[in-house]
Structure 1
Amino acid sequence: MTHLEATGRRKRGRPTQEERERRRDQILDAAVSLFVAKGFGQTSIDELAAAARVTKRTIYTYFGDKAEVFTAAVERFRVSALAQLTAEDESLTDVATRLVLVLHSDEAVGLHRLMIAEAPQFPRLAERFYASGPLGYIELLSSLLDAEGAPPDAAADGRAEALFGLLLGEPHRRRLLGLAPAPTPAEARRHARAALRLVVGEGDGAG
């Protein structure tokens, strides 16, 4: 066997980091589609493997079990969202506007509906969903409120939680019920500014 043949075999047997990340995303994309369409409890690992075009062993190797797949999907969404929220924004209003767009997006609403439906049977999964999603956004808002000059105890007095709740609001309830489409950027900004006026006062963080 030549060195080239040996090297070629090693490459085929050991996927690159890029290939592993692509395969991981492939599994997560399939999982979100199946979970939203069928429910977490009704989706089997066999179905997930078939939809993702991988083996069950691959899923177990990458994630461990089905609950870890769901948690990874939520975490991937959160990391992507936080990157969008903190990459280029210069004001609290900018961040709040992007957060409205993220929270009211089709993917976020689908995951939220799924978790509401599954929480009674999978309470630990619900806890992890909250820790990986809403809690992270509240912590981000708390840090930004501090940066905008809010009192140091902004998190303690519930200001960040109140703002997060307002950024969801009745529009998010309508989204969950399928009664309204995702907001446009202009609608999201109006929503964000109205929420900020209630929490930090007229003009604060207007940007």
Structure 2
Amino acid sequence: MSRGVAAVQTPGRRRRSEGKKAAILDAAEALFLAEGYERTSVDAIAARAQVSKRTVYDHFGEKAAIFLRVVERVNDALVSAVRAAIDEELVPGRDLRDALTAFGRRVVTQTFPSADYMTFRRLTSQQWSAPRLAEAVRDQPERMLEERFAVLAADGEIRAADPVVAARHFTALTIGLALDALDDRRAAEAEEPEEPEVLTIVTDGVDAFLRAYR
């Protein structure tokens, strides 16, 4: 085969390769959720993805690496959602109470109920033997919010000697309490809180935060 022909075919091979990678990750995610990390095998992943076991190993390696890539893929989607919420809600010039409230409500009403978030929670709560994301990767949303709070402090929007602590206080008073309410209802197998109830948690938390930091 001439180099010219090979060059023409390369994009097609690349698309097929990416398609196989996506199929493998989709299959692995479904199996890890349904069967758990321990009971899922590379053979089962290959069979569900309709590829050879060799193809799975060529693209991702051992099962632990596949699991981490599945979790990273979901985490990447969550990071993008939080980044968009920060960039679109915590904008310069906007009333701070409105901005913080809109950000907290967006995370609570859009990110928490999302399929990506539920998948992430289920994957990362698996048994101790499942591999764990590196802390730097797992904590990206918190780091992004801390960076934005540092800007708010530098601009005089909040009084915070340590913006990292301020961001954590904000999260605990708003998003953290809202998540606790949702988790308590799920643990009790009760209906999830009505949206107005969760939004009130966020609004009250923002007011408490601003009383301490303005």
**Do the two structures share a fold, i.e. TM-score over 0.5?**
yes
Q: Does 2:148 match 1:144?
A: yes
Whole-Å separation in 1 of the counterparts to 2:197 and 2:19: 34
Structure 1 residue 159 and structure 2 residue 156: aligned? no
- Where do residues 1-207 of structure 1 align in structure 2 (5 Å cutoff)? 6-7=5-6, 10-11=9-10, 15-16=13-14, 18-87=15-84, 89-91=88-90, 92-100=100-108, 101-119=110-128, 121-122=129-130, 125-126=131-132, 128=133, 131-133=136-138, 135-148=139-152, 149-150=157-158, 151-156=160-165, 158-159=168-169, 162=172, 165-175=176-186, 179-180=190-191, 190=200, 192-201=202-211
How big is the shift at 1:47?
0.6
State the 1:138 CA deviation: 1.4
Q: Distance in 1 between matches of 2:8 and 2:101?
A: 53
Larger radius of gyration: 2
| TM-score relative to the length of structure 2 | 0.69
Between 1:188-197 and 1:67-76, the stretch displaced more is: 188-197
Q: Secondary structure at the match of 1:117?
A: coil
The whole-number CA distance in structure 2 between the counterparts of 1:7 and 1:76 is 31
Higher RCO (C-alpha under 8 Å, 6+ residues apart)? 1
Aligned residues of 1:142 and 1:160 also touching (Cα < 8 A): no
The Cα shift of 1:71 comes to: 1.5
Superposition RMSD in Å: 3.7
Unaligned runs of 5+ in 1: none
Mark the CA change 1:3 to 1:19 in structure 2 (over 3 Å): closer, same or farther. closer
Deviation of the 1:32 alpha carbon: 1.4
Structure 1 residues 30-74: Cα deviation after superposition (integer angstroms, max 9, x where no partner)? 111111111011000011111112222222222222222222122
Cα displacement string for residues 122-178 of structure 1 (whole angstroms, at most 9, x for unaligned residues): 3xx23x165533x11211221222233442512246436635533522213434776
Q: Which runs of 5+ in 2 are unaligned?
A: 91-99
Identity of aligned residues (%): 26
Q: Distance in 2 between matches of 1:95 and 1:19?
A: 39
Would the alpha carbon gap of residues 181 and 34 (structure 1) be closer, same or farther in structure 2, given more than 3 Å must change?
A: farther
